[in-house]
Amino acid sequence: MRNWIIGLIVTSVVLLAGLVWGLYNMRIDWLQAIMLIFTYYGMLLILVAAVTRPKKFLINKDYSPFISIVIPARNEAYVIANTVRSILKLDYKKDDKLNFEILVMDDNSSDDTFEIAQELEIEFPGVVRAVHRGPEIAGKGKSMVLNDGMKRAKGDIIAVFDADTNVAPNFFKNAIPLLYDPQVGGLQGRVRLYNRHKNLLTALQEDEFAVVSHLYQLGKELVGGLTALGGNGQLVKRKALDDVDGWNWLSPTEDLDLTFRLLFKGWHVRYAPDAVLKQEGVEGIHAFIRQRVRWAEGFLKCIFDYTIPLIFSRASIMKKLDGTMTMIRVLIPFFVWIGYIFIGVALVKGVEFSSGVSPTLMIISSWAFFGALTVAMFRTIYPNVFTALFRVIRYSFYNLFWVIAVPIGFVNCIRHINDIYWDKTTHTGGSPKRTKPSRPPEEFTDSPALTVAEAAD
């Protein structure tokens, strides 16, 4: 927490100094330079993802360790049964028996989550385990639940699925071979949304996952950058978790936090685009903002904790560069606000800010990024160029929500400096008026290996 306080102070001082210097000297060079750096780096990642063939990694299709699937569950009565039944369809067996166990970690839910988990344990003995965490230890965050689950787990691999997950039957078959490499400590599957057609907000979130959680992940892996774990669909070797003492209970974004700590211990993280799972997108704007503010808070705390250790770590130059860009990218909304202030001052005072950067270069760079993203979406996800263009346009406007979420997250870093809590997203499974789901889990009909087929959406 000391690092968080220091980070808050340093970040505030640097941002304020940049604002004051710009206003005093009436120059915006530094601000434009920062935006250009992130524009070109982002363009590099998405173009590499679009035109480069996937890397060939050390794999072994006969590698079949026992897996413990840990599902953190707090008030998940609407979705937990469908999630467990979806996981039970996974095609991962040894000697004709399922080669995994499922631990439903009920974190003192106030609804029927634990009772439903117990019914599933009775229905699937030896595979499903219902674990209740009492009020004396519950409510302290997802990381605490995961660490508790790891202690109870039997597997050599710990898989983390959220309680609103629908998994492709071949998820493990496409993911586990990548973990054969002794240097690989973790792996992240590709996340999509099963309710992406619910409304405009869920459709926009699907676009976001397509760009940030797919294209950027592909690009990072191809250039040797820092492939990151996500909160849902992550697989981590027990040996690697033991090496870093499990998940960090102080972090609101335990996935990104674990990514950095694995890096510092010399472990690699892989991205498996053919290992697909679906989760529930947030359907209401209030819940959406709360979720993204929590993400922003967690990202900021990672900046405060790991920027300096990353620079002085033994990681490769590319991983240091990409990791630093990943973290500092969260500060872009502050630079946007500073830009708004400069525009406001210029309009009120009737003056112009000087710059050595050509306005034409800024415009061309913005359009180049826009075009590169369209090309990448067209080549890897949507085979119709007009569909790709439409998705990019609406994603560009949607992405402005970070301008609000990140500053609020920054304030929450101060408010919650001594608090550990689990501000989880509410899941309904499409059945908000029932305590148990009214329909069976959606069948996974699309082929994860054929991304072009996603145009059938």
pLDDT digits (tens, 9 = 90+) for 415-439: 877 666 666 677 777 654 444 543 4
Question: What are the tens digits of pLDDT across the range 321-345?
Answer: 999 998 888 999 999 999 999 999 9
SS3 content of the chain, % helix, strand, coil (to 5): 55, 10, 35
What type of residue is 33? A
User: How many angstroms separate the most distant Cα atoms in the chain?
Assistant: 78
pLDDT, tens only, 48-70: 998 888 777 888 888 999 999 99
Q: Which amino acid is at 35?
A: M
Q: Is the pLDDT of residue 191 over 90?
A: yes
Instruction: State the pLDDT at residue 146.
Output: 96
Rounded Cα distance between 79 and 113, Å, is: 9
**How high is the pLDDT of residue 3?**
74
pLDDT level of residue 380 (50, 70, 90 thresholds) = confident
pLDDT of residue 430: 62
Structural domains in the chain? 1-457 (3.90.550.10)
> Which whole-number Å values give the CA distances from 59 to 173, 200, 221, in the listed order?
12, 40, 16
| Location of structure tokens 């915006």 | 28
The reported pLDDT for the residue numbered 5 is 82
pLDDT at position 454? 39
Share of the chain above pLDDT 70, in %: 92
**Mean pLDDT for the chain?**
89
Long-range contacts: 364-367, Cβ < 8 Å, 24+? 365/36, 365/39, 365/40, 366/39
Residue 455 has pLDDT above 80, yes or no: no
pLDDT at 442 over 60: no
> How much is the pLDDT for 422?
64
Please indicate whether residue 236 or residue 442 has the higher confidence score (pLDDT).
Answer: 236
Report the pLDDT value the prediction gives residue 456, as an integer from 0 to 100: 36
- Please tell me the least confidently modeled range out of 53-62, 224-233, 249-258, 283-292: 53-62
pLDDT score at 36: 95
Which residue type occupies 197? H
pLDDT class of 457 with cuts at 50, 70, 90? very low
pLDDT confidence of residue 345: 93
Name the pLDDT band for 164 (thresholds 50, 70, 90). very high
* Per-residue CA distances from 120 to 83, 134, 211, 256 (Å): 11, 20, 36, 31
Give yes or no for a contact between 73 and 112, defined as CB atoms under 8 angstroms apart: no
- Angle at CA 146, nearest 5°, toward 152 and 295? 175
Res 359: pLDDT: 87
What's at 405, amino acid-wise? A
Cα-Cα end-to-end distance for the chain:
45
Predicted structure pTM score? 0.88
Give the pLDDT score at 327: 85
Percentage of the chain beyond pLDDT 90 is 71
Q: Strand runs (DSSP E) across 54-151, as ranges?
A: 67-73, 93-94, 97-98, 100-106, 128-132
CB burial readout 386-398, b (16+ within 10 A) else e: eebbebbeebeeb
Question: Tell me, what's the pLDDT at 448?
Answer: 34
Mean pLDDT along residues 142-150 = 94
Q: Closest Cα partner for 80 from 118, 37, 133, 44? A: 118
Tell me, what's the pLDDT at 449?
Answer: 33
Do residues 171 and 449 lie in contact, with contact meaning Cβ atoms separated by under 8 Å? Answer: no
pLDDT digits (tens, 9 = 90+) for 390-414: 999 999 999 999 999 999 999 988 8
